[in-house]
Structure 1
Amino acid sequence: MPDAGPLRANDPRRIGVHELLGVLGSGGQGTVYLGRNPSGQRVAVKVLHARVTENTVEMRRFEREVALARQVAAFCTATVLEAGFSEGRPYLVSEYVPGPSLQDLVATDGPRTGSGLERLAIATATALEAIHRAGIVHRDFKPNNVIMGPEGPVVIDFGIARILESTDATTVSALVGTPAYLAPEQLADQPASGASDLFSWAATMVYAATGRRAFAGEHAAAIMGTILNSEPDLEGVPEPLRALLAACLAKDPRDRPGVGDVLAVLTGRAPAEPYAMESDAVTPLPAAERDLITTGDRPVRRLLPRGRTGWAVAAACVALAVLGAVFWPFTGKPVVRAAPAAKAVAVTPGVIGNQSDDIWAVAAGQVDGRPVVVSGSADDTARVWDPVTRRPVGEPLRGHTEDVCAVTIGQVDGRPMAVTGSADDTIRVWDLVTRQPVGEPLRGHTEDVYAVAVAQVDGRPVVVSGSGDDTVRVWDLTTREPVGEPMRGHTEDVWTVAIGQVDGRPVAVTGGVDDTIRVWDLTTRRPVGEPLRGHTGDVYGVAVTQLGGRPVVVSAGADRTVRVWDLATHQPVGQPMVGHTDNVTSVALGQADGRPVAVTGSWDRTVRVWDLTTRRPVGEPFPGHTSTVYGVAVTQVNGRAVAISGSRDTAVRIWDLGPSS
C-alpha cells in the first residue's frame, strides 16, 4: 500500500479500538487509513462512505460479505481482521501490506516482464481462486487492488464492491468497479460472476505486461464502448500468455475458462477433464470426444497438445467450455458424484441448476403430482426447478426488489403456492401452476423477511414470517391481511420459522440471533412456555417432527451443533449432534431407509444427514458445494428420498438418501 499521508481536519482519529495514523487513499467507496491496534500491529482501516448505510439492507449485506471475506485463505490476499460500524458508517480492518499498488509500480518502473510477470499472474490467479472458494466474487479486480508487497503480490478489497450494488447506478461514478477493468456483463447491468473476475484479472495482466489498458478510451463512456464492442489491444503481451488472456477477455462469460483451468495452464498441471450429464448420470466423456466440446450449437476445438506443460500450452486454453448440461464451479473442476448417505444410489447426486447469484433458501413440494424445488436468491428472484429433468420450470418469479431470503411451499384453496420473503421487507405469494403472483405483496415488516412458513389456523391458510425487525407475524392468505398484532419476544433478528402442533393446537417455532428458540400459540399468538436455551450462537434453522410419538424441534446453530428438543416439555433430547466444522445454517426433516433423519447445511460447505433416533451421523458428509450451504429440503424423486441443497456457489444440488420407507 502507498505511504500514508497526514490525517485531515475532518478525518476521525480513532475507529473502534484502532488509532488512525494517516490516510492511505480515498476513492468512490470510501477512505483507507493506516491504523494501529491496541497490540501495536499496523492495520489498514477502510471506512465506507455514509451513503452505503442509508439502507439497512446494504448494512446487512455488508455484514454477510465480511463474514464470508474472513473465510478466504490468507495466501496472496490481505487477511480481513475485523469489521463494524462507527457513527453509522461501516468499516473494515485488514492486514496492512506495505508496498506500492501494481498501478503505481507499472506507472513508475514500467511493465512487468519475464519471470516477474509469470509470478504475478500465478499469484494473483491463486488469490482469485481462494476468493472464489469462499463464495465471493471480487467485482473490482484492478491494478490498484493488487499490492506489490515485500513477500509478493497481495489482492485487496475482495467482496467490498458487492455492498455498493444496490445503489442507483444512474451515473458512471455509481458503477460498482472501475470501468476500464469491468466485464461486459457488468457494464450491461448483469450479475457479476467468477467469469467476470477472470475478465478483470486478464485486463489487469494486460496492463502489467504493457503499461496500457486493454481497452482504450479518453473517458469512461468511451472505455465502456470499447469493452462492449471492440477486441482488446494485446500488442506487447508475450506469447503464450497473450492467448490465455485473449480467452479470458471473451465477451461472453460462457466462453471464458475457469480460474482453476487458468492456473492449470500457468503452473503446468493438467486441466480437469470435462464431464457430461447423460441420463441423469455424471460420467466422463469418451476419450475420442474429449478434444471436441460444444457450447450451444458452436463446436469449439480444445487445442491442448499432449505432453506440454506450463505457459507453453497457454495458447491452447481457448475454450474449456460448458456443455448444455456440464457444470463447472469456480475451481474449474467437474461436478463429481458425492458419497451417498445410504447404500442404494438410484438418483445420481449432482446439480439441478444454477441461479445467477447466491442462493439463500430452497423448498420442495409437488405440482400436479410432480416434484418441484423452489430456490430464492440474491438476484432478487425465486426459481422453480424440476428435480427429475434437472431443468427450470418456466421463467424466474420476479417481483421482489432485493434478495429473496426465504421460500416455502403450501396449499391455498387446493392450489400449490410458493411463498417468498425478501430483504425488500415484503412477502409474496406465487401460484406454482401458472407461476404468477397472487395479489399484492404482504407489507408490514420494517426489516428483511428472513423466514416464512405456511400453516392452517382455525381452518384458514396463514403465513407465519420472521424478520430482522425482531418480530414474528401472521398473515391470512385468503384476505391477505395481518392476523392480530406482531408476536414480540425475540430481542434480535428472527432467522427461522417452523410449524408444529402441541396438544392439538398449531404452534410456530422460531429461532434467531438472540440464541433462543421460542414457541408461539398460533391461535392466541402468545408465547408457549419459556424460550428453549442451549445454543451458544445464532439459531439459524428449526424444523418440527414426531419422534417416538412426541413432537420435537430440531435446531441448527452458529455453535456448530444440531439439537433436538421435546416440544411439549421444552427440554433437550439427548446430546447435541456434532460434526459440522462451522456454523450450521439450515435443517430439514424426512425419512430415509425407514428411519427419521435430519439433513443440515453449513458454512463448512457440506450437507450432512443425521439419524434422529440415535442422533448419530448417517454416512459421510456430501462435499460437492464450493461455498456456504444456506438452504436444505427433503423430498421424493421417483419414489426415493432425496435431499436438496442451495448454496452461495449459486448451485441447487440433489443428493440420494437411499430407499424411502
Structure 2
Amino acid sequence: MSSEKLKPLEASDPKKVGGYRLLARLGAGGMGRVYLGRSKGGRPVAVKVIHPYLAEDAQFRRRFNAEVAAARRVGGIHTVQVVDARADADPPWLVTEYIAGPSLHEAVGEHGAFSAAALAGLGAGLAEGLMAIHERGVVHRDLKPGNVLLAQDGPRIIDFGIARALDATSQTTRTSVVGTPGFMSPEQLRGREVGPASDVFCLAAVLAFAATGRRPFGEGPLEALGYRVVNEEPDLTGVPEPLLPLIASGLEKDPQDRPGLDVFLERCSALAEGGDAPLPEPVSTMIATRVAETEVLAPPPQDAPGNGRQFPPLGRMKLPMAAAAVVGVLLVAFAAWALGDDGNAPATSKAIATVQQTPASPTPSPQPSETASATDSPTPIPTPDPTRKAFEKISAGDCLDAYKRPSGEWSRSKPRAVGCGRSDAYLKVLKVVDDSSECIRHGADLDGELRWSYGEDANEIALCVQRQFRTGDCFLATKGENENSVTISNSDLMTSWPCGAGSAPEEYDYILRITAFTSGACPPGGRRVHWEVRGRTLCTRIV
C-alpha cells in the first residue's frame, strides 16, 4: 500500500491495530489514514484505518467486506496483496503488504516526467497488473498516480476493487462521484456502467501524466475537469512519439473504441527494451532510501528463516555510487528523527543508535603468505550468468510470456514462466534439452513449434516451445506466390502483433486474427485463411 514519506506518529494515532504494531504515518486517502506497521512475525505491512464517518455506514461495511474478499483473490504480479482485514472492527481496517517505494505522483512531482523507455516499462507493468485484477472479476475504478507504487522490480497497483465499496456509500446520496478528477473515465463521470475499459482509460491518463508531468485534462474543480473529460480532447503534448498513438487511443470517449490491456502490454513491452527498462536514477535513489528507512524501523527478526528479510540490503541494491552517498546522508537525518529531539531512542530506534555509536572495526590488511609465490593469484570466482539461471528455472509444462518480434528476436531477453491461463501466455514448454536439434520435428511442415536456446555445444540449454493459439490473438504473415495468397511459417506463428495496429510492420504484409483452433469447420466472415496445424484447423481472417 501507499509508501509516502514516513512521518512520526501523533498523540491521537493508535499504537496498535489488530495484531499489528504501528511505527509511523504513511499518508491519508479517501477511505482513511495509512500507517507503516509491523506484523507479529516482524514483517513490515501497510495498515489502513477507515475514516469514522464511513465506519458508521452499515452498507459501507458490508460492501467493504465483499470487496476485500474479492481483492484477496487477486494474485497477479504488479499488485499489492491484501493480507488481513476486519470489516466489523471499530473502526474497520485493512492490511496489505508494504512496498518501500514512492508513489508515481510523488516521483513525478519531485523529479519530473519519465523517459520513453521508463514510461514503456511502467505501462507494461501496469497493464499486466490490471489484467491480473480483471481476470478475478475485479475492476479497479480509481487508478491514479497516487495508487501506483514504484519498486525497483516494477510498479505495484494498490487499492484495487476497494473503491467500489466507497462508491456504494456515495451512491446513497448521489452527491458525489468516487474517483480522482482528471483520471476518471467518461462513463464513470456520467454514472454509467463501469467495466474493464474504464481502467484502460485511467491507465492511459496515468501514463500521460508520467510522460508529461501534468494531467491530460488539466487542473481545476471536479465540474470543469469532468466536462473536459467527457467533451474535450486531452493535451498530450510531450508524450513520446512511439507511445502517443497508444495513449491517445486509450483516452477515447467510447469504451468500445479503446484498445485492450493486451495491446498495451504488447506495445509497451516491445518498447521497454525487453521489459528491463530502468527507472530514472533519482527515483531509484528514492526507492533505496525507503528500503533502508523501513529496515531501520522494522528490522527483520533475527530468528526468522533467512533472517526474514523482505527487501535486499542496501549494499546489494543496484545503485550508483553518488546515489548511495545521498542515501547515506538521508539515513543520518532519518536516524535523528527516529531518535527524537531529546536524544532518547524509542524501541524502534535503538538499533540506529547502536549502529551509529559503535565504530566499525578496522579491516586488517591481508598479509602475504610465506609459501605463496610472487606470481600466484587467487582462483577466480565464476560470475553467475543470469540468463542461464533464467533458462534453468523453466520446466516442461511451463508457459512463457514471450513471442517473436518482427525482427526475429524474442520479445524478452530471458524466459519467464507465467500462468498458462493468462492472455499473455504465448508459449508452452514441451521439454527442456541440452541440444536444440532435439526440438525439431522431422517431417512436420507446420506445427507451431520452435526452439529457444542459450549457449553453444556442451553448454547449450534449449526450450522446445509450442505456440498457444487463442481466439482473438493476432500474428503476422506474408504474401504468397500471387497477390491473393497468404503464407506463414513456424516462425510467423510465434509472432504477436496488435490486431488494431492498422498495418503490418516491415517485411510482413498481413495481420491475421485467430478466429478458432478447432477440429471442425471455421466460422464464417471476413477474408478467411486456414491451415492444418498439429492435426487441427487454425482458422484466421485478415485484419
Normalising by structure 2, what TM-score? 0.50
Give the residue type in structure 1 aligned to 2:233.
E
Which residue does the alignment assign to 1:305? Answer: 503
1:31, 1:48 within 8 Å by CA — same for their partners in 2?
yes
Give the residue type in structure 1 aligned to 2:129.
A
Which residue does the alignment assign to 1:214? Answer: 216
Higher relative contact order (CA 8 A, sep 6+): 2
Structure 2 residue 261 is matched with structure 1 residue 254: no
Whole-angstrom CA distance in 2 between matches of 1:183 and 1:14: 38
1:136, 1:159 within 8 Å by CA — same for their partners in 2?
yes
1:148, 1:154 within 8 Å by CA — same for their partners in 2?
yes
2:120, 2:269 within 8 Å by CA — same for their partners in 1?
no
Which residue does the alignment assign to 2:135? Answer: 133
Q: In the comparison of the two structures, how many residue pairs are matched?
A: 300
Which residue does the alignment assign to 1:145? Answer: 147
Which residue does the alignment assign to 1:647? Answer: none
Give the residue type in structure 2 aligned to 1:237.
V
Whole-angstrom CA distance in 2 between matches of 1:303 and 1:128: 21
What are the Cα deviations for residues 65-85 of structure 1, in whole angstroms up to 9, with x where unaligned?
Answer: 212211212411112111114
Which residue does the alignment assign to 2:6? Answer: 4
Cα 1:69–1:335 change in 2 (3 A) is farther
What are the Cα deviations for residues 420-457 of structure 1, in whole angstroms up to 9, with x where unaligned?
Answer: xxxxxxxxxxxxxxxxxxxxxxxxxxxxxxxxxxxxxx
Whole-angstrom CA distance in 1 between matches of 2:10 and 2:518: 56
Residue 239 of structure 1 and its aligned partner are, at CA, apart by 1.5
Report SS of the residue matched to 2:73.
coil
Give the residue type in structure 2 aligned to 1:157.
D
Structure 2 residue 75 is matched with structure 1 residue 95: no
Which residue does the alignment assign to 1:17? Answer: 19
Q: Given the alignment, which residue of 79, 82, 90 partners 1:80? A: 82
What runs of 5+ residues in structure 1 fail to find an aligned partner?
A: 276-285, 289-300, 310-315, 321-332, 340-344, 349-661
Which residue does the alignment assign to 1:181? Answer: 183
Whole-angstrom CA distance in 2 between matches of 1:239 and 1:171: 44
Counterparts of residues 493-512 of structure 1 (less than 5 Å): none
2:38, 2:44 within 8 Å by CA — same for their partners in 1?
yes
Which residue does the alignment assign to 2:199? Answer: 197
Whole-angstrom CA distance in 2 between matches of 1:15 and 1:252: 44
Whole-angstrom CA distance in 2 between matches of 1:334 and 1:64: 37
Give the residue type in structure 2 aligned to 1:125.
A
Which residue does the alignment assign to 2:242? Answer: 240
Counterparts of residues 92-491 of structure 1 (less than 5 Å): 92-168=94-170, 174-268=176-270, 274=472, 302-307=500-505
Residue 191 of structure 1 and its aligned partner are, at CA, apart by 2.4
Which residue does the alignment assign to 2:45? Answer: 43
1:21, 1:34 within 8 Å by CA — same for their partners in 2?
yes
What are the Cα deviations for residues 193-244 of structure 1, in whole angstroms up to 9, with x where unaligned?
Answer: 1100010010000000010110013222211111111001111101221100
Cα 1:211–1:68 change in 2 (3 A) is same
Cα 1:101–1:181 change in 2 (3 A) is same
Residue 274 of structure 1 and its aligned partner are, at CA, apart by 4.1
1:45, 1:91 within 8 Å by CA — same for their partners in 2?
yes
1:102, 1:143 within 8 Å by CA — same for their partners in 2?
yes
Counterparts of residues 552-567 of structure 1 (less than 5 Å): none
Normalising by structure 1, what TM-score? 0.42
1:101, 1:145 within 8 Å by CA — same for their partners in 2?
yes
Give the residue type in structure 2 aligned to 1:90.
P
Which residue does the alignment assign to 1:26? Answer: 28
Give the residue type in structure 2 aligned to 1:116.
A
Give the residue type in structure 2 aligned to 1:267.
S
Report SS of the residue matched to 2:24.
strand
1:15, 1:86 within 8 Å by CA — same for their partners in 2?
no
Q: Given the alignment, which residue of 55, 66, 71 partners 1:53? A: 55
Whole-angstrom CA distance in 2 between matches of 1:245 and 1:222: 22
Whole-angstrom CA distance in 2 between matches of 1:170 and 1:69: 23
Whole-angstrom CA distance in 1 between matches of 2:209 and 2:88: 36
Report SS of the residue matched to 1:78.
coil
Report SS of the residue matched to 1:93.
strand
What are the Cα deviations for residues 131-177 of structure 1, in whole angstroms up to 9, with x where unaligned?
Answer: 11111101110001111123221111111101011223599994211
What runs of 5+ residues in structure 2 fail to find an aligned partner?
A: 271-402, 405-423, 425-469, 474-483, 487-498, 524-543
Cα 1:73–1:168 change in 2 (3 A) is closer
